[in-house]
Structure 1
Amino acid sequence: MKRFPVSLSTKLQSRTEANALRQLPEQKNGVDFSSNDYLGFARSELLFQKAAAMLSQQHNSHNGATGSRLLSGNHAFYTEAETKIAAYHQSESALIFNSGYDANLGFFSSVPQRNDVVLFDELSHASIRDGIRLSNARSYKFLHNDLEDLERQIKRFQNDQGSVYIVTETVFSMDGDSPDLEQMATLSERYGCFFVVDEAHALGVFGEKGEGLIDALGLREAVFARIMTYGKGLGCHGAAVLGSVRLKEYLVNFARSFIYTTGLPPHAIATIHAGYLALETEAAERVRLKENIVHFNREKNLLGLKPLFIRSKSAIQSAVIPGNEKVKNIARQLEQSGFDVRPIMAPTVPEGQERLRFCLHSYNTSEEISKVLHLLNRLL
């Protein structure tokens, strides 16, 4: 059928006119400042071999899970990996989902109930917002990392019959910044709220063993649920919700994105397990990443670029350059000089907040970091 709805054509045309039409990019060969592979695990031959060895030891050559986990898909690798994950994060339980998006969708659509209230940071990831939208709870956003606004909103609902959920991320994907998690935990405890955090961009980056910011700050007992995503620092795919055994039981029974989907294949779960083993043994990668973050911040300050960047101590460093056309032009010139730095444009971020998003990795060299920042300085 060649006909296409006029309403959809109009929306595509509007995106084109705003220079914001998304297209699938070709694989680029420049110095990587764009991927979420913070520790280089996605390209690690050692991790690949560890996962293959696990499969070989159990004589498992299956290409798929064969069904949902509640039917035929709950293969033995799931139990081993979830046990490892829970122990690593000192959590009662872990439940693996097919992706971070699925985990957030399943959690937020099923856990908050009709009389409950969800208070979420205004810059929360789309998967969190989509999950909340599917729930029966009322939801309200609070100003980004603003504890006063959060407390004001908590007080509005503290006498309601339902529960109040406070939702944030330990590292925000577009800004790279972090909230005051200790104060948020204090507020949550003071008012009897349930604290939920997404650790997607903190896993592998923060903590003595790369376990994330909640563990690093000793806040695990203050948190009702943590969402760990494996497509970033762990270099593979999937996600897990950490929490009580009772929470796991609830999600298995009510999280639709868990119930009604085919499970991940054995090799995907083996890779997650191998990723955690690598976190324990590859401390040098985390050290190099931290050194690169420090070097990046030092260089941008020396070049006078600090006002351009959002304050961040994470692997995500964003330089705000307003205007889709302007930020695309600078990204194009960086690419022509051999650097893969991606522009983040409206409507992914608000108009006027367009940016270059630099993702730092353990395998970037200090020379590459200095060179790309000096080039950015000249282009501006």
Structure 2
Amino acid sequence: MNVFEKTLEQIESAGLTRTLKAIRNDSSGYCTFNSKKMLNLSSNDYLGLASDENLKSEFMELLSQNPQWLTFGSGSSRLLTGNNSIYDETEQTLKKWYGSQGALFFNSGYHANTGILPALSDKNDLILSDKLCHASIIDGIRLCHAEQIRYRHNDYEHLESILEKKRDLHQNVFIVSESVFSMDGDQADLEKLVELKEKYNAILYIDEAHAVGAMGETGLGLCEEVGVVSQIDIIIGTMGKAMASVGAYAILNNVLNKVLINKARTLIFTTALPAINMAWSKFIIDKMPEFKQQRKQLKKLVTLCNDMVQDMGYKTFGSYIIPIVVGENKVAVALAEHLQKKGFLIFPIRPPTVPKGTARLRLSLTANINPDILDEVMMEVKRFME
């Protein structure tokens, strides 16, 4: 047995085997998996827009009026010939939406998070990141030459204690956090983070991947809900979740924007997205403030489902991301399989995505789910765990 076969054997024995799955979504919160129609409880399409037939029809009509967008390959990076004019139009739209000086589009959230901090920091700097930041942020920080310290999750006393000791020893200090954390659905205290960044003259980097579109009066995310949009130095927004598209963007000042164009390797050395993808992204961004009803419906589902899960004895954080932490990998796998047999598509989340001993199911609510069916989901979870 060679080393790779041994690796696979270890993965399998630990109950950590992962596979790719073919899934077809529809517009009612359901999908088809293994030739069976199931309620989709694993999607990050929080507003249910990605499969909305009315939106598709409206975009196709717009596309017929703009045939220049009908290209399926860009042919090069943005710095060569891949920067179709729709890129510039999309970034102008983002600047207007956020009221910012700069906006820069990346191919994905992973490209943004692995490219920005390495481009902006150097060996004289310090990066302080929440311990539960997403893997893409962790990977980006690992590429940096700056000193790196992870503070305890949402523990701002710990964060400030580090700042008190370390701030004067470094040129720039970056404070890095998600706004809504992807595994538990809990939230950062953005007001406190803004207070600390101003007190210690730091640069605040907030990833709004799971909040943009789904939260805020116009969909700007948690930063809009708490009124700190203009006080965050770098905001990362992901198009692949509530924004129903592909790609990601950074909202920042004009100076940082220009530095990234010249130094961010994940922008410079990758092929640009096709014009048709960018056109759909701009279409969604333009319409996002209009989706108030979807955000309102999502909030209703959040209240209903969180109450149900708490009544079963599980801890939740009042989000559309709802963890049911069962502990053991094999229990999480078995519970997910049980729910799939009952017509509810949900997958187990296991280490290294989450800490060892905290394997779970992660329910992701979307605005197009019928609230009545959530009773059935919870009943099946309760039956299995009893």
TM above 0.5, yes or no, is yes
State the match for 1:240 in structure 2. 249
State the match for 1:16 in structure 2. 12
Are 2:364 and 1:368 equivalent residues in the alignment?
no
Q: State the Cα distance separating 1:83 from its structure 2 match.
A: 0.8
Q: Secondary structure at the match of 2:324?
A: strand
Contact 2:332 2:359 in 1 (8 A): yes
Between stretches 133-142 and 215-224, larger displacement belongs to 215-224
Q: Tell me, in whole angstroms, the C-alpha distance in 2 between the residues paired with 1:252 and 1:49.
A: 35
Contact 2:237 2:249 in 1 (8 A): yes
State the match for 1:322 in structure 2. 327
Q: State the Cα distance separating 1:66 from its structure 2 match.
A: 1.7
Contact 1:54 1:270 in 2 (8 A): no
State the match for 2:153 in structure 1. 144
What TM-score, normalized by structure 1, do the two folds share? 0.95
Counterpart amino acid of 2:53?
E
Pick the aligned partner of 1:201 from 210, 229, 242.
Answer: 210
Pick the aligned partner of 1:355 from 343, 350, 360.
Answer: 360
Note the 1:101-116 alignment, pairs <5 A.
101-116=110-125
Pick the aligned partner of 1:190 from 177, 183, 199.
Answer: 199
Q: State the Cα distance separating 1:107 from its structure 2 match.
A: 0.5
Q: Tell me, in whole angstroms, the C-alpha distance in 1 between the residues paired with 2:249 and 2:318.
A: 25
| Consecutive unaligned residues in structure 2, runs of 5 or more | 24-32
Note the 1:111-126 alignment, pairs <5 A.
111-126=120-135
Are 2:300 and 1:295 equivalent residues in the alignment?
no
Q: Secondary structure at the match of 2:242?
A: coil
Q: Tell me, in whole angstroms, the C-alpha distance in 2 between the residues paired with 1:212 and 1:298.
A: 23
Counterpart amino acid of 1:23?
T
Are 2:314 and 1:308 equivalent residues in the alignment?
yes
Q: Tell me, in whole angstroms, the C-alpha distance in 1 between the residues paired with 2:335 and 2:306.
A: 20
Contact 1:118 1:165 in 2 (8 A): yes
Q: State the Cα distance separating 1:56 from its structure 2 match.
A: 3.0
Q: State the Cα distance separating 1:340 from its structure 2 match.
A: 0.8
Moved over 6 A (4+): none
Q: State the Cα distance separating 1:220 from its structure 2 match.
A: 2.0
Are 2:53 and 1:45 equivalent residues in the alignment?
yes
Paired residue total: 372
Q: Tell me, in whole angstroms, the C-alpha distance in 1 between the residues paired with 2:319 and 2:94.
A: 23
Q: State the Cα distance separating 1:227 from its structure 2 match.
A: 0.4
Q: Tell me, in whole angstroms, the C-alpha distance in 1 between the residues paired with 2:382 and 2:202.
A: 45
Between stretches 32-41 and 17-26, larger displacement belongs to 17-26
Q: Could you report, residue by residue, the CA deviation over 1:57-86 in whole angstroms, capped at 9, with x for unpaired residues?
A: 332122211211111011111111111111
Note the 1:173-188 alignment, pairs <5 A.
173-188=182-197
Q: Could you report, residue by residue, the CA deviation over 1:179-207 in whole angstroms, capped at 9, with x for unpaired residues?
A: 11111110111111111000000011110
Counterpart amino acid of 1:308?
Y
Pick the aligned partner of 1:214 from 214, 223, 235.
Answer: 223
Q: Secondary structure at the match of 1:158?
A: helix
Counterpart amino acid of 1:7?
V
Are 2:61 and 1:56 equivalent residues in the alignment?
no
Contact 1:51 1:267 in 2 (8 A): no
Q: Secondary structure at the match of 1:321?
A: strand
Q: Could you report, residue by residue, the CA deviation over 1:307-353 in whole angstroms, capped at 9, with x for unpaired residues?
A: 423x3222100011011111111111111111112110122211111
Contact 1:89 1:215 in 2 (8 A): no
Contact 1:47 1:278 in 2 (8 A): no
Q: Tell me, in whole angstroms, the C-alpha distance in 2 between the residues paired with 1:344 and 1:208.
A: 31
Q: Tell me, in whole angstroms, the C-alpha distance in 2 between the residues paired with 1:183 and 1:276.
A: 28
Q: Tell me, in whole angstroms, the C-alpha distance in 2 between the residues paired with 1:88 and 1:46.
A: 23
Pick the aligned partner of 1:167 from 167, 172, 176.
Answer: 176
**Residues 1:50 and 1:96: Cα distance change in structure 2 (over 3 Å):** farther
**Residues 1:354 and 1:40: Cα distance change in structure 2 (over 3 Å):** same
Q: Tell me, in whole angstroms, the C-alpha distance in 2 between the residues paired with 1:245 and 1:48.
A: 34
Contact 2:327 2:360 in 1 (8 A): yes
State the match for 1:256 in structure 2. 265
Contact 1:176 1:315 in 2 (8 A): yes
Q: State the Cα distance separating 1:14 from its structure 2 match.
A: 1.2
State the match for 1:32 in structure 2. 40
Q: Tell me, in whole angstroms, the C-alpha distance in 2 between the residues paired with 1:99 and 1:323.
A: 32
Q: State the Cα distance separating 1:33 from its structure 2 match.
A: 0.6
Counterpart amino acid of 2:314?
L
Counterpart amino acid of 1:375?
E
State the match for 2:28 in structure 1. none
Q: Tell me, in whole angstroms, the C-alpha distance in 2 between the residues paired with 1:364 and 1:123.
A: 29
Q: Secondary structure at the match of 2:82?
A: coil
| Consecutive unaligned residues in structure 1, runs of 5 or more | none
Contact 2:114 2:266 in 1 (8 A): yes
Q: State the Cα distance separating 1:372 from its structure 2 match.
A: 0.6
What TM-score, normalized by structure 2, do the two folds share? 0.93
Q: Tell me, in whole angstroms, the C-alpha distance in 2 between the residues paired with 1:297 and 1:182.
A: 24
